[in-house]
Chains A and B, each alone.
Chain A
Amino acid sequence: MARPSWIAQAARIAWKDLHIEGRSREVVYTMGFMAALVVLVFSFAFISGREVTVGPDVIAGILWVAVLFSGTVALSRTFDRERESEAIRSLLLSPVPRSAIYAGKLAATAAIMLLVELLLTPLLAALFSAAIGPHALWLGLLLFLGTIGFCAVGVIFSAALLRARSRDALLGALLFPIVIPVLLAASRATATLLDPAIPDLDPAFFWTRFLAALDVVFVVVGLWSFEPVVIGE
């Protein structure tokens, strides 16, 4: 038996998840709907009504909070399907390295989240007349980096909480303090890019590099810790 490469196995697992999601589109719909609702909720909560133009700080904040909150939906669903018929056991029993399972799950969950974000961002831009045009690619990069950072930690927690009754209550509560640097970096960079008045993009450069470094740290810790967390006592 020729053992496939680590990357091939991770890709295969990611593909499996995306294939299943492609057929039902369940996570995309529920996460997308929730994200849109979070945007609306924040709009009604923070905008006075008399003054409906909003600064780039608020727009960036709303975007990233919507991503974080609706992202927990994607995270909890990513392991739900594994738990269903104990498919996770078959996966863990196979010779696939557990780090490859982590990488595959990370890639698939991030891809699904990104799809929703790419639909959410123009929506937000339309709602608040935000100028996403000038730096669209950079914004895309920020979405990508922020999502990876969030999922890198989230996949581990979701896997660990697989069988816990209090999973839904705990996932967000445990995840958010740790991913605050992700939120901070991503929203500050986004706000800089959305601000038509700021000629100086240095903060955006800084925060983008910071996010990339953060992603590296989180993914490395994740790759290492997935196996001991998921393989029981």
Chain B
Amino acid sequence: MLLSTMSSTRKPNTAFIVGLLLTMHGFFVVPVMVARAPLERTMGLVQKIFYFHVPCAWLLMLSTFVCAAGSLAYLFRGSERGDRLALCSAELGVLFGLCVMVTGPLWARAAWGAFWTWDVRLTSSLLLWLMLIGYGLARRYGGAGGRRLAAAMALFAAADVPLVYLSVNIWRGLHPTTKVVSSLAPGMRTPFFFSLAIFSALWGGLLALRMRVEHSQARLVELALAVDDLEGKSS
């Protein structure tokens, strides 16, 4: 059967163009907002790394959940699209996780003098990051059942998120608070939310692009099979 159930590549539509323009606008505007944001009293300029660090950490967590959702669809309904979603979001998670692991220690060094202080959020993020790296390893080296193993990992990882967060907090003798955002000085909230928005847009855009690549690849395989089919019939 030459006809495929998969959709062919979509032409960019209005929503996409609008989104693209907004994002470009954001890339110009947000750094200015961040630069103009008030300096934090004790840490000064260094604190501004927070505008990058925190969104990346949240996106790491989001990636984990999206990966688990895709894995759920793949394991229980055989959804290939779910599997692609899981792969792409895991990759993004590793990427944004890398950003967290670079910006976090930089901030720690500048603020407290040591690269690693076993800060609860950073430690929890590290564990999540390692799980997503494990996801990638499982896919590549897990043999024939690699994809399913990775999917199971993603499920456990997502279930683990609250447990990791809670246990690391209690381990360090702190009770979890959300003081990060609510304790922000007013002048900082706006740039922070805009920064979060632009990073999320980046995440979403990268995800869409990556999904498109995977989708095209799958479509290519399907077409190759159809060609094989034709050749088979004619021989």
Contacts and interface: CB of A to CB of B under 8 A. Distances in A.
Nearest to B160: A178
Nearest to B76: A228
B127 interface: yes
A174 interface: yes
Interface in B133-150: 134, 137-138, 141-146, 148-149
Nearest to A157: B149
Interface stretch (A1-9, A83-91, A181-189): A181-189
Contact of A188 (B131, B137, B145, B171): B171
A184 B152 contact: no
Given A170-B141, A174-B137, A184-B167, A217 B159 contact: yes
* Interface size band for B: 20 to 34
* Interface size band for A: 35 or more
Contacts of A174: 134, 137-138, 149, 153
Interface in B113-140: 127, 130-131, 134, 137-138
A168 to B, nearest CB: 12
A180 B143 CA distance: 25
Contacts of B149: 157, 160-161, 174, 229
Contacts of A130: none
Interface in A174-233: 174, 177-178, 180-181, 184-185, 188, 206-207, 210, 213-214, 217-218, 221, 225, 228-229, 232-233
B159 A180 contact: no
Contacts of B131: 177-178
A40 B79 CA distance: 48
Contacts of A160: 142, 145, 148-149, 152
Given A153-B156, A178-B160, A228-B148, A164 B141 contact: yes
B164 A180 contact: yes
Nearest to A160: B149
A137 interface: no
Contacts of B167: 181, 184-185, 210
Contacts of A177: 127, 130-131, 134
Interface string A105-145: 00000000000000000000000000000000000000000
A165 B141 CA distance: 8
A24 interface: no
Nearest to B143: A164
Contacts of B101: none
A229 B146 contact: no
Contacts of A178: 131, 134, 153, 156-157, 160
Interface of A: 153, 156-157, 160-167, 169-170, 173-174, 177-178, 180-181, 184-185, 188, 206-207, 210, 213-214, 217-218, 221, 225, 228-229, 232-233
Given A174-B149, A228-B148, 16 more contacts: A160-B148, A163-B143, A166-B142, A177-B127, A178-B157, A206-B170, A207-B170, A210-B166, A210-B170, A221-B156, A221-B159, A225-B152, A225-B155, A229-B145, A229-B152, A233-B148
